Structure formats: C-alpha cells, structure tokens
Structure 1
Amino acid sequence: MQNTSLTGRELLAALGIVIIWGTNFIAMKVGLRSFTPFQLGAARYLLAMLPLIFLVPAPRLHWKWLLLYGLCQGVGQFGLVFLSLKIGMTAALASVLLQTQLFFTALLSFFVLAEKPGRPLLAGLALAALGLCCFAMNYLLPAAGAAAATTALGFALCLGGASMWAASNIVVRLAQQAAPGFAPLSFLVWCSAVPVLPFVALSLLFDAPGSRWQWTNAPWQGWVAVAYLGWVATIFAYSMWTGLIQRHGANRIAPFSLGVPVVGIASGMLVLGESVTAWQWAGIALIVAALACVLLGGRPRAVAVARADSA
C-alpha cells in the first residue's frame, strides 16, 4: 500500500526537482546554440549513462520497461521539446506547456491504472487549466509579446513532449507493479542508454551534413549545458522523481511539477531576458494556487483522521 503523505525530506526533494527542472530550460537553450536538437539528445543521454552504467548494476526488471521508458522519456519527451525550442518556443512558455503532462498523467492513470483523482487534485486541475489558458493567450495574441518568439509547430511539439512525459510516468508505475522495489538510480542510468542510438540515427538522417560532426568544435558553455542536462536534470532529478512516484503514485507526485513554470519563467526572464506579460503573471498566480490546493487540500482531513486514531 502506498503512503499518502510525504515526509519533510521528500517535500524538500520535490522542491529541489522543481528548481532543477525550472532552470533546465535555460540549459536547453544554451545547449541548442552549440548542437542540433538530435545531437543534444544524444549527448544528454550519453553523459547520463556514463560512467555510471559501468558502476551501477542493471535493475531487476524486464528489459521492456527500460526500452519503453527510454523511448517515451528520452526520444519522445526531450526529442520533441528540443525540436520545439529550436523551431520556435521560449524557455518560459515551454516550462508552462510541459505541465500539461499533469492532465495527460491523470487521464492515463485513470484509464490504465484505475487511479481515481481526489477532490484537491480535481480542484487543482481546474485552477491549473485556467492558468494554462492565461499562458496560451500570449500565443493566441502575438501582440502581447511572448508569442512573437513562438511558432504553431513549436507549440504543438511542446505539447507532444508533455504527453510523452505523462506516458513515461505511467511506464514507471507499470514497471513498479511488475517488479516492486527496483532501484530508481539504476533504472534511470540503464534507461539512458536507450535514446542514444535513436538520436544518433535521427541526426544522421535529418541534420545537415556540415553540422553532423560539430561536437568537437562546441564551446565549453555547450558542454556545461549538456552536463547539467545529463547528470543533474536526468540522473539526479529523475531518480528522485521516479522514487517519489514509486512510493506515492503518479497522481500524487505529478502535481508538484506545477511549480516548474514559476522557476522557468523567473529564470527565463532573468537569464535570457524574456519578458513576462500580464497574462503570464495571471497564469503564475493560478498555477501557484493550484499547487497549494493539491499539496494542502488533503491535510485537514489527514489531521482529523490522525486525531481520531489517537483518541
């Protein structure tokens, strides 16, 4: 039976993931200045698997879960997100659009895992939907500012990446059901080996011949971005994320990602000089309210039950 409440250490871990993934979009933008989207994907997961794949034993579960997760989370989620950021998407707006994974995760959890969302989550989803609508207004009204740096294709690709993130969350839950107790770190390290060859193949197929072997000429900033994406955002953050999903379920953990846009927009504004419009500030307020609703909504009842049990 899964725990329904998070410990203080788990809450700190969730907040750390929010900060890492929020600034993750800055690293993506920096990396895409030096690499094509497919090259960046290959480099990210090559560093994510090395050198740990030689030090960490393979997880004790069927290979199909490694393959499915690597394809969904690696090639699917980040392949589409990297393309989106390259074709036409700001780091700030991408950090928001990816949070639609919450809706996809809740939907897939209901149909695939029969996990029913509670009232706090439903209320949080409603607030988050309003927040995402506010952010979408920047795309629907280019004169507002933010949408001028985006394209319709970039917008669609980013939403596709969000759906693949949700699919990877479900794969983790199904893998946990099939092989309870597998180690998240070994799972992430060995899954990171899956996207490397597909990304290399995509680069050979679609990248311009003159850009295929530019790895050796990339500046140090590009490799620092790759290291951050591979070691910090992938291995460190995703291993913590996977562990939290194992213990508490996808519907319970996925709402934490609502804090990522707050960090993403702030870092995009401070580091990349991206502007924040009135619509975006409204969206930030609604998403923070949604996060508070989900995280704090069940506490009064939990306290009441605890008091009744101790009586």
Structure 2
Amino acid sequence: MTHTQLKPVHMITALIVIVLWGMNFVVIKIGLKGIPPLLLAALRFTFVAFPAIFFLNRPKVALKWLIIYAATISFAQFAFLFSAVAVGMPAGLASLVLQAQAFFTVGLAALIFGDKLKTSNVLGIFIASLGLILLGSASINASSAQVSTAGFVLTLCAALSWACGNIVSKKMGSVNMLSLVAWSALLPIIPFFVLSCLMDGVNVVWHSLTHISLTAMLVILYLSGAASLIGYTLWGKLLAALPTHVVAPMSLLVPVVGLSSAWILLDESLNHTQIIGALIVMAGLLFNVFGQKLIDVIRKKQEKSSMPNDQSQG
C-alpha cells in the first residue's frame, strides 16, 4: 500500500538523488573528453551489472517487467538522449528538457493507476514548468545555440522512456531496487557497444578502451555506482513509498543542481534569468509538496469567516 505522508527520510532521500543526478552532468562532461558517448554509456552499465549481479539475487519480478524496465529506463532513455546530443542538442538544455519525464510520469500514472491530482499538485507542476521553460530559454540565449527539431524530439523521447520506466517500477511495487537496477543493466550493454562501434568506429572504441585514463575510470565509477546503483535504487524506493505525483516533480531540481555544480566546478556561470528560473522551479516543487496544507488552511479560514454571515442570515 502506498503511503501518502511525506516524511523527513523521504525528503533526505530525494535530496541525495537530486544531488547525485545533478552532478551526473558535470561528471559526464568530464568523461566525454576521452570516451565517445555511447561507449561511455556501455561502460556505465557494464559496471552497474558487474560484479553486482554475482552478489545479488535476481529481483523477484516477472521476467517481462525486468526486460521492459531495462529497455525503457536504461537503454531507450540513454540511447535517445545520446542520439539527441549527437544531432546537435546542447547538453545543458538536454538536462532540462529531460525533466519533462515528471509530467509524462504524472500523466501516465493518472491514466494507468487512476492517481488523483490535488490542486497543489497541478499548480505546483505548472509553476515549476514555467521555471523550467525560463531556464531552457536562458540557456539557449546564453549559448547562442540553435536547437534542432530532431534533437528536441529525441530528448522528449528520452524523457518519455524514463517516465515509462517509472511506471513499470510503480507497477512492480515492493521489490529489491538494488537488485533490479543491477540486473536490468545487463540488457543495454551489448547494444551500446554495438552502436558505439557503428557510429564511432571500431578503431576509436578500441583506442578509447586501451588508453583509458584514471579520470575516465573515476567517471565510470561515479556513473555506475553513485548515479545508477545508488540513485535509481533510492528513486525506486521513493516511487514505491509515495504517490507518483509527489515523487516525479522532485526531479525538476536536477537541472538546478546541474547548473549550480557546473558553475562551481566547471566555471560555467549562471545569468540572472537562469537564477530566477531555478528559484521558480524550487518554488513550484515546494508548492507541489506543501501547498495543499496552505490551501486547506485558507479554505478553513474562509469557511470560518463566512459562518457569522450565514448565521446572521438564518
């Protein structure tokens, strides 16, 4: 049964995931200096699966759900995302557009599970989406980049794939998420290696593997251990414990952390518009989680203030 009360442990867990995934884009940028993107994805999932699967039992879920989870949240999401970047989608903007998964997840959950949205959820997501749009437009203006239609559509496909994975995770219910993440990482390994060989060339792939640097190895360790094993395990636990419309919008803070970490670690400064957009996103998330209490308080005050008038009329 899904609990509806948001506890401090849930907030701390969400914060950990947000930081891990937000930092993910800085780490990826560092890693791509020496490794082609699809090869980096292949190595990421290789070390997510191995050696973890030798110590973890296969998750107790139907094989079809394991395959669908792996195909959506692991392979499809990153295949679409890296393809989008390959056809010209700016990496920073991709991290923002990818957060459309929150809206896809909420919509799919309402359609499939019949989740009911409260006023605070609708308004919170609306406010956060305005901030996300502002962040995206500011990023385009700052980089003077032209976003191709193909890149934008492919990134939305990546977001939809992530959302489908969220729904599958919700459908499976209580499951050992660490085992699920590790075993589902088996599926995309070979396809990513094959795609990298086809797109980058066998010689480039072989050279990257035989001349891998210490920095690249640390990047792979972070992407596989922190961002994947820890991040997706905690994310899945949140989806199992809380309503989808509470959990999914929390990921909208990921690009805020991504932009901030890039500013601190890579000296990529934020302009005033981006800062305002980030604050609007945070405001939307806060309203999504806590806004219903404020709305209920306002309604109670209105009801109390109207009572004397009703009594006097009677």
Aligned to 2:62: 62
Q: Which stretches in structure 2 are left out of the alignment for 5+ residues?
A: 298-314
Change (3 A) 1:186 1:253: same
SS of residue paired to 1:115? coil
Deviation, 1:256, is 1.2
Inter-partner Cα distance in structure 2 for 1:277 and 1:158:
24
SS of residue paired to 1:197? helix
Q: Among residues 201, 204, 225, which one is paired with 1:208 in the alignment? A: 201
**Deviation sequence 1:83-133 (CA, Å, 0-9, x none):** 344554455433322211111111111222221222111011111221122
Aligned to 2:163: 166
Bigger Rg over Cα: 2
User: TM-score, normalised on structure 1?
Assistant: 0.88
One-letter amino acid of the structure 2 residue matched with residue 148 of structure 1: A
Asked if residue 106 in structure 1 is aligned to residue 106 in structure 2, the reply is yes
**Deviation sequence 1:138-189 (CA, Å, 0-9, x none):** 36xx5x323438655444333222121111111111222xxxx221111111
Q: 1:87·1:151 contact (CA, 8 Å) conserved in 2?
A: yes
Q: 2:120·2:287 contact (CA, 8 Å) conserved in 1?
A: yes
Inter-partner Cα distance in structure 1 for 2:89 and 2:20:
20
Inter-partner Cα distance in structure 1 for 2:81 and 2:228:
14
Inter-partner Cα distance in structure 2 for 1:58 and 1:75:
19
Q: Among residues 245, 269, 287, which one is paired with 2:239 in the alignment? A: 245
Q: 1:66·1:194 contact (CA, 8 Å) conserved in 2?
A: no
Inter-partner Cα distance in structure 2 for 1:162 and 1:298:
27
One-letter amino acid of the structure 1 residue matched with residue 101 of structure 2: Q
Aligned to 2:192: 199
Q: 1:134·1:280 contact (CA, 8 Å) conserved in 2?
A: yes
Q: 1:14·1:256 contact (CA, 8 Å) conserved in 2?
A: yes
Q: 2:105·2:166 contact (CA, 8 Å) conserved in 1?
A: yes
Single out whichever of 186-195 and 32-41 deviates more from structure 2. 32-41
SS of residue paired to 1:297? helix
Q: 1:71·1:194 contact (CA, 8 Å) conserved in 2?
A: yes
Inter-partner Cα distance in structure 1 for 2:243 and 2:189:
28
Q: What percentage of aligned pairs have identical amino acids? A: 32
Aligned to 1:25: 25
How many residues end up aligned between the 2 structures?
297
Single out whichever of 31-40 and 90-99 deviates more from structure 2. 90-99
User: TM-score, normalised on structure 2?
Assistant: 0.87
